[in-house]
Amino acid sequence: MRNPSKKRCIFCLEEKPLSDFTEEHVFPYAIGGSFVIHDVCKDCNSYLGTAIDAKLTDHIFVQFPRHLLRIAGKDGRIPNPIGKGLYGGDPSRIMYYDFDLKGDNKDLYITPKIEVTEKGNELRVHIEAHEKDRESLPEIVNKILERRGLEPLDNDSIFDMIDTATEEHPSMTIQYQVGIYDHIQPMFKIAYELGYYWLGQDFLSDETARKIRETVLEREIDIERLESLKIRGNFSLTDEMELVDFWDDFPNYHFAILTGNADVIGIQLRVFDVFGGTIAISENAGKYGFSGNRFLVLNPEARIFREGTLEDFWDNWAV
């Protein structure tokens, strides 16, 4: 008989006091997730948040819709994927583009470009600088003169040489490093938690569920090992996947659909219009007496969700 003061964590599979459990956002909170379960212990929840969910929420492809929709993480910050780059592609000049906590434009700054040329007895100093550096120009110029043993210029003389120009749309070149497998573990985590939620306790002893669970809990994704497990399905960029047509009309939503037949139960997932795909969560559908389907749609901008069957949503997908 199960102790009513304890329950089993669906990841570490240990029975713990009810006080050791907390809300687990199936789709992470930092991407607007509002659908929660209460069957993950605090220790596992903490690990999943820092080691697994972060691989999705901080992924550069996910940071862009988070930024555009102004979806903050639990720390209240909205990501800024365009915070630093090269001004006009010039490797000598860094451009910073800052936003406030609400995602509004806050500040733009471009580092100076200094060119010093000498021809005979003639010294030329050409400086391109942001307006914020205007008051620093006399110091910059006079340091250059000092290094060459020349007399400094007074501030007014330097300011008289300044030409001012306005650039309406300065260009920025940004280079990103993208982990091509970083999304796999968090997408597996979402599928696993929804599999448990929709199929119940028996799911924890399912062989396919065990493989998914162990993959989620690995410190780093091991692609060779993952391939050896032969879990059917794939998660990739959504433009590489042929998913359900209707959700193309809702690019900023998250979706999950549980479907199956007499043998296999699978889950289709999509996060924004960035990552999507299908994974088989059980090769033993008869174990559950499965019939029909389940459907979950989340509006991350509003942090609301709807759940039901596909038929429930046939006439109205929006939430």
Domain boundaries, the chain: 6-59+179-313, 109-173
Give the separation between CA 26 and CA 195, rounded to whole angstroms.
Answer: 11
Q: What is the mean pLDDT of residues 78-104?
A: 86
pLDDT level of residue 8 (50, 70, 90 thresholds): very high
Q: Which long-range contacts (CB under 8 A, 24 or more apart) does 211-215 make?
A: 212/188, 212/279, 212/281, 213/10, 213/11, 215/184, 215/185, 215/188
Question: Which of 2-6, 80-84, 222-226 comes out lowest in average pLDDT?
Answer: 2-6
pLDDT for residue 3 is more than 80? no
Q: What is the mean pLDDT of residues 65-88?
A: 91
What pLDDT does residue 137 have? 92
pLDDT for residue 93 is more than 80? yes
pLDDT for residue 107 is more than 90? no
pLDDT level of residue 2 (50, 70, 90 thresholds): low
pLDDT tens sequence across 197-212: 999 999 999 999 999 9
What pLDDT does residue 245 have? 60
Q: Which two tokens stand for residue 273?
A: 């219009």
What pLDDT does residue 292 have? 78
For all residues of the chain together, what is the average pLDDT?
90
CA distances from residue 268 to 26, 49, 86, 247, 304 in whole angstroms, order as listed: 14, 22, 39, 12, 20
pLDDT tens sequence across 212-248: 999 999 988 888 999 999 999 888 877 555 555 666 7
What pLDDT does residue 238 have? 72
Query: Considering the entire predicted model, what is its pTM?
Result: 0.86
pLDDT for residue 264 is more than 90? yes
Give the separation between CA 314 and CA 138, rounded to whole angstroms.
Answer: 68
pLDDT tens sequence across 130-176: 999 999 999 999 999 898 888 999 999 989 898 898 888 889 998 88
pLDDT for residue 68 is more than 60? yes
Give the separation between CA 19 and CA 16, rounded to whole angstroms.
Answer: 8
Query: 191 versus 219: which is more confidently predicted?
Result: 191
What pLDDT does residue 197 have? 96
Euclidean distance between the first and the last CA atom of the chain, given in angstroms as a whole number: 41
The DSSP bridge partners found for residue 116 are 125
pLDDT for residue 309 is more than 80? yes
pLDDT for residue 108 is more than 70? yes
What pLDDT does residue 186 have? 97
pLDDT tens sequence across 13-44: 999 999 999 999 999 999 999 999 999 999 99
What pLDDT does residue 244 have? 55
- Element containing residue 86 per DSSP (H, E): strand 84-87
What pLDDT does residue 305 have? 96
Residue 239, Cα to own-chain centre: how many angstroms? Answer: 17
